Amino acid sequence: MSTPLQNLIIILIISAATALTRFIPFILFPDNNKAPAIIVYLGKVIPFAVMMMLVIYGIKHINFHALSAWLPEIISIAGVIGLHVWKRNAILSIWLGTIFYMLLVQFVFI
């Protein structure tokens, strides 16, 4: 069990780390200083790489022995891809894909 002082120190450290990660880009790349090409490139590709890692992590447990164990995931992934291609809205795709998956596993593939 931690003391109130330890909790305060933890909160202050986390707050400082969060603020630091928000301020570093503005300190390293002020308005008159253009970001290096590698930073611009990484800013474009890393979000997609992280999303793919999350998808792979989420589906690595699929058991292909029973249809009800893998079909909801595959249908939901196809639905998310189709919705994202159609609307080009990541938040909408994530929310509706999650809702669609939950409806499938709760009411269709029981």
* Angle (CA) 30 32 35, round 5°: 65
Question: pLDDT grade, residue 7 (50/70/90)?
Answer: very high
Range 29-51 burial, b when 16+ CB lie within 10 A, else e? eeeeeeeeeeeeeeeeeeeeeee
Quick: pLDDT tens for 42-56.
989 998 899 889 889
Question: pLDDT grade, residue 27 (50/70/90)?
Answer: confident
Sequence ranges of the domains in the chain: 1-34, 35-110
Question: pLDDT grade, residue 25 (50/70/90)?
Answer: confident
pLDDT at position 23 is 93
